[in-house]
Chain A
Amino acid sequence: MAIVERIRPSERSRSWRERLGDAIRQHEGLRALLLAGPGGLWLLLFFLLPTAIVFAYSFARRGPYGTVSWAFTLENYVRFFDWLYIRVFLVSVWLALLTTVICLLIGYPFAFVIARSPRRWRNALLVLVLIPFWTNFLVRTYAIMLLLRSDGLINNALQWLGLIDRPLTMLFTPFAVVLGLVYGYLPFMILPIYASIEKFDFTLVEAAQDLGADTWQVFWRVLLPLTLPGVLAGSILVFIPSVGAFVTPDLLGGGKVVMIANLINQQFLTVRHWPFGSAVSFVLMAIVLAATMLYFRIGETRRI
């Protein structure tokens, strides 16, 4: 059938464009390649290739003056097991977890209130959640610094009220870093939880109450399990950027709170030990991958 079609008498007079069109229509493989091609090429050039290079670097040695001298060694990874670096790893995971939990505790009630408010208010409230994104993240982080400084707004206010005599040290502490992270990533927690509460069928709440459940039991046994997809999505969306955060610990931690991304930055730009920096990058990637897998695993085993 296809062959008969292809040797039509008009074949020779047809332009190359028409012939290409025919070829695309007839070959499924070609069609798939053309469709996936641009995206695939983009991924290859800007993700897979650089990742491969960094991966290769992570097994190399540092040459003189910070160059990379090719070798195959595991010493960069072994070196990471120094307490100095393990501590950075633990601090990063801990601060990211803390950020996720705090975002969850704030974000869930927030999302609930938005999802349960009258329909005409909902969009306005969602816009309010997103408004901070209109300003550059860096600018907002500097604004937090202005608030937290020893002679910043908060300390001045507290001193003026006579609640403290000496300014509190808030800037350049883990507190400041977590505050910045929570502030920055809270919307990523609110939005997916909002979406799942919005879909939730509230007659189930009445059904549970009718069967004798009090408010807490309704929450734990009905609302939370059925909105867990939103909670999981929000948690992963907050945890991943938090664990790899760079700007926030850099500015609000002021070098006193070092997270993995700061270590990587330091190794690449200050110490100029690219192979070790690459190895640390891969450790970070492993954490993110583990978190993502955990997310999918929980998502799968949930019985819904």
Chain B
Amino acid sequence: MGGFAPLDRPIDVELIDVTKVFDSGVVAVDRVTLQIQQGEFFSLLGPSGCGKTTTLRMIAGFEHPTAGEVRIEGRPMGHTPPFRRNVNTVFQNYALFPHMTVFENVAFGLRMKRVPRDEISRRVREALQLVRLSGFEERYPRQLSGGQQQRVALARALVNRPRVLLLDEPLGALDLKLRKEMQLELKHLQMTVGITFIYVTHDQEEALTMSDRIAVMNAGRVLQVGTPIEIYERPTSRFVADFIGETNFLSGRVDDVERDTATVLVAGNRPVRVRIDEPLSVGSEVTVAVRPEKVQIVPLEAPGADGLLRGRVEEVIYIGTDTFYVVRIDETTTVRVRSQNDRNRLDGGQLLPIGTAVALSWAPDAARVLLD
């Protein structure tokens, strides 16, 4: 499931400076540029209303960009109608035809293309097998569970062997357990058929689990594009760091820079060392971001206890595999720490009680400097 190095395969879908302004004046998509490679599982991730669906609909041809260009397989799409684009969509509410059986639903696209009858029945059977729905041919959509309807929608799109499959929160209506199952199944399916998937979701965990690359969107803009690891480990903006996973933000001032490491004074002039990718000038105001699970927590009285920050445990939240500690550094700063409940650790599997004086530390490359 590793990421793609950029541009090592042909580009299937390309968005060049695409903007969509609705008649109401809403700027739904704002100068978005994306390149999606052949065979890639590409996710559009962002909060509700950030323009994911609109972006997808412009690729499908249901909406047309106000400015910019959508290219599929290198060809500018202009106002090409949906039925002339080599893409298919799985809709959020499935949009199965209620008056047709499962077979007729899946066969619909092939019938429109006047594929010979026996080829239709063969390909429909294959598609249903692929989504593990053999034997459901004669059922009507309303006689199926949500997960089964979802699979019919997938088969109905895949049977056409599109170049690109667009999926708009296809698992949104399923319960958590089924959703997890379907995530793996979908990912597996995508690798089997080798079709490019463009997948819309507002669930960061889903995006991390399934995608080769993710574009994080907010307010119509794409903030960062990268592999799940890049997005999670090296967020380039406060929004991305906050939206994907959990992050402590410590605002401070750059005190010293030596090659790829900066010393930033945070929480009452405590120096913390942070790895940097871009040059920083001394004295600039920055935010240090560090994930809760990267923070080591040690009781101050433990032998050799040392740390970047000191504080007192204010809250202890036990969640089974891990424990969250909220540690107060000073009046305005708290740090969340996620500590694995592992017997081999220093604290011996014992929870630290509220009020314990602790030292917090992290490796220099575990933290990031954000400029916004």
Contact A207 B112 (CB under 8 A): no
B156 CB, nearest partner CB in chain A, Å? 7
Contact A217 B95 (CB under 8 A): no
Looking at the complex, which of B86-94, B118-126, B296-304, B340-348 is the stretch in contact with chain A? Answer: B86-94
Looking at the complex, which of A47-55, A87-95, A166-174, A198-206 is the stretch in contact with chain B? Answer: A198-206
A126 interface residue, CB < 8 Å from B?
Answer: no
Q: State which of A206, A221, A225, A226 has its C-beta within 8 Å of the C-beta of B82.
A: A206
Q: Which residues on B sit within 8 Å (CB–CB) of A210? A: 60, 62, 82-83, 87-89, 157
Q: Which residue of B lies closest to A203 (CB)?
A: B95
Contact B60 A203 (CB under 8 A): no
Contact B95 A201 (CB under 8 A): yes
Q: State which of A213, A217, A303 has its C-beta within 8 Å of the C-beta of B99.
A: A303
- Name the residue in B87, B109, B112, B160 with the highest tally of chain A Cβ atoms < 10 Å from its Cβ: B112
B119 CB, nearest partner CB in chain A, Å? 15
B199 interface residue, CB < 8 Å from A?
Answer: no
B163 CB, nearest partner CB in chain A, Å? 13
A73 interface residue, CB < 8 Å from B?
Answer: no
Q: Which residues on B sit within 8 Å (CB–CB) of A222? A: 97
Q: Which residues on A sit within 8 Å (CB–CB) of B156? A: 211
Contact A207 B83 (CB under 8 A): no
Q: Which residues on B sit within 8 Å (CB–CB) of A304? A: 98-99
Contact B89 A226 (CB under 8 A): no
Q: How far is the CA of A11 from the CA of B43 in the complex (A)?
A: 79
Contact A206 B62 (CB under 8 A): yes
A212 interface residue, CB < 8 Å from B?
Answer: yes
B140 interface residue, CB < 8 Å from A?
Answer: yes
Contact B160 A212 (CB under 8 A): yes
Q: Given A203-B93, A212-B109, A212-B113, decide whether A303 and B88 contact each other with a Cβ distance below 8 A.
A: no
Q: State which of A203, A204, A212, A225 has its C-beta within 8 Å of the C-beta of B112.
A: A212
B325 interface residue, CB < 8 Å from A?
Answer: no
Contact A209 B83 (CB under 8 A): yes
Contact B108 A208 (CB under 8 A): yes
Contact A226 B98 (CB under 8 A): yes
Contact A207 B97 (CB under 8 A): yes
Q: Given A204-B95, A212-B109, A226-B98, decide whether A303 and B140 contact each other with a Cβ distance below 8 A.
A: yes
Contact B112 A217 (CB under 8 A): yes
Q: How far is the CA of A225 from the CA of B98 in the complex (A)?
A: 10
Chain A, interface size: which category?
20 to 34
Q: Which residue of B lies closest to A207 (CB)?
A: B95
A214 interface residue, CB < 8 Å from B?
Answer: yes
Chain B, interface size: which category?
20 to 34
Q: Report how many A-B pairs have Cβ atoms within 8 Å.
A: 59
Q: How far is the CA of A211 from the CA of B83 in the complex (A)?
A: 6
Q: Given A206-B62, A222-B97, A304-B98, decide whether A211 and B91 contact each other with a Cβ distance below 8 A.
A: no
Q: How far is the CA of A253 from the CA of B366 in the complex (A)?
A: 92
Contact B81 A211 (CB under 8 A): no
Q: Which residues on B sit within 8 Å (CB–CB) of A303? A: 99, 140
Q: Which residue of B lies closest to A303 (CB)?
A: B99
Q: Which residues on A sit within 8 Å (CB–CB) of B95? A: 201, 203-204, 206-207
Q: Which residues on B sit within 8 Å (CB–CB) of A214? A: 83
Q: How far is the CA of A23 from the CA of B247 in the complex (A)?
A: 73
Q: How far is the CA of A96 from the CA of B82 in the complex (A)?
A: 42
Q: How far is the CA of A221 from the CA of B98 in the complex (A)?
A: 12
B137 CB, nearest partner CB in chain A, Å? 14
A122 CB, nearest partner CB in chain B, Å? 19
Contact B113 A204 (CB under 8 A): no
Q: State which of B62, B99, B108, B140 has its C-beta within 8 Å of the C-beta of A211.
A: B108
B360 CB, nearest partner CB in chain A, Å? 51
Q: Which residues on A sit within 8 Å (CB–CB) of B62? A: 206, 209-210
Contact A209 B140 (CB under 8 A): no
Q: Which residues on A sit within 8 Å (CB–CB) of B160? A: 211-212
Q: Which residues on B sit within 8 Å (CB–CB) of A209? A: 62, 81-83
Q: Which residues on A sit within 8 Å (CB–CB) of B113? A: 212
Q: State which of B81, B87, B91, B140 has its C-beta within 8 Å of the C-beta of A207.
A: B91
Q: Which residue of A lies closest to B159 (CB)?
A: A211
Q: How far is the CA of A213 from the CA of B95 in the complex (A)?
A: 15
Interface residues of B in 103-119 (CB under 8 A from A): 108-109, 112-113
Q: How far is the CA of A304 from the CA of B140 in the complex (A)?
A: 9
A95 CB, nearest partner CB in chain B, Å? 33
Q: How far is the CA of A225 from the CA of B96 in the complex (A)?
A: 14
Q: Which residue of A lies closest to B109 (CB)?
A: A211
Taking A204-B95, A211-B157 as known contacts, 17 extra A-B pairs with beta carbons closer than 8 A to each other, sorted by chain A number, are: A203-B95, A206-B89, A206-B95, A207-B91, A208-B97, A209-B62, A209-B81, A209-B83, A210-B60, A212-B109, A212-B113, A214-B83, A217-B112, A221-B108, A226-B98, A302-B99, A304-B99
Which residue numbers of B lie inside 8 Å of A, CB to CB? 60, 62, 81-83, 87-89, 91, 93, 95-99, 108-109, 112-113, 140, 156-157, 160
- List, sorted by A's number, 29 A–B pairs whose CB atoms are closer than 8 Å: A201-B95, A203-B91, A203-B93, A203-B95, A204-B95, A206-B62, A206-B82, A206-B95, A207-B89, A207-B95, A207-B97, A210-B60, A210-B62, A210-B83, A210-B87, A210-B157, A211-B88, A211-B109, A211-B112, A211-B160, A212-B83, A212-B112, A213-B83, A213-B108, A222-B97, A226-B97, A302-B99, A303-B99, A304-B98
Please name the 9 residue pairs, one residue from A and one from B, whose CB atoms are nearest each other, closest first: A211-B109, A212-B112, A207-B95, A203-B95, A212-B83, A209-B82, A210-B89, A304-B99, A225-B99
